[in-house]
Amino acid sequence: MMQNLIVFESKSANLKNVNKIVNGKISKKLEDIKKADKIIFPGVGSFESAVKDISVVKDYLFEHIEKKKPFLGICLGLQLFAENSEESSGVGFSLIKEKIIKFKNIKTPHMGWNQVNIIKDCSLFKDIPKNSFFYFVHSYYMKINEFTSSTSIYKNEKENYLFTSAFQKEYCFGVQFHPEKSSDLGIKLLENFRRL
């Protein structure tokens, strides 16, 4: 049976790269959100702008979550599952009771390849080795919490940040890294989501 996968039409420059892998439909139309079996939100930009981006369809995104349909947030998309952010005003989905925090006393954005330490079973990481490398670009992060499925470390001589690089709460997933920029393992991760 063919599934209806929607890549949410955010302001991300990577929409087409994500969609090329999952073979979905890029849209933020209400009728498409209502029919979606799976949704991916690839976010780039500010927390506030992303909150505004989803405002028209937020109730239906909540409905999607409540029906336990798979939902994946990428980068800023992960941060949207939190309550709010130090970056700007706006209320996220509040699925994870955390505030998104800014890296301090360290170069931002955290950009480039970094190790992802898988700490618990997560459907996204099926057949992906522990401590694999994925590509990151971000200045804000989610603290470790009960739903964290992988962690990563960003450090310099003064600071050592251990943060959530992926989480899973039922059928909601978030990854702080960019799978669409992470070569074969990133493709594998997105394919894992598509096959849920």
Tens digit of pLDDT for each residue in 93-140? 999 999 999 999 999 999 999 999 999 999 999 999 999 999 999 999
Ordered DSSP codes for 67-82: TT--EEEEEHHHHTTS
Q: CATH for 5-194, among 3.40.50.880, 1.20.1260.10, 3.30.230.10, 3.20.20.70?
A: 3.40.50.880
Which amino acid, 28? K
Distance of CA 144 to the CA centre of its chain: 15
Residue 161: phi, psi to the nearest 5? -100, 120
pLDDT at 12: 67
What is the number of other CB atoms lying within 10 angstroms of the CB of residue 164? Answer: 25
Question: Which pair of structure tokens corresponds to residue 138?
Answer: 């971000």
What residue spans define the domains of the chain?
Answer: 5-194
Say which of 48, 64, 75, 172 is annotated catalytic: 75
Q: Catalytic residue, from 64, 110, 138, 178: name it.
A: 178
Q: Is 64 a catalytic residue?
A: no
| Per-run averaged pLDDT (10 residues), the chain, 196 residues | 85 85 95 96 89 91 96 96 94 96 97 98 96 97 98 96 98 98 98 97
Taking each helix axis as running N to C, give the angle between helix 183-194 and helix 15-22, from 0 to 180 degrees, rounded to the nearest 10. 60
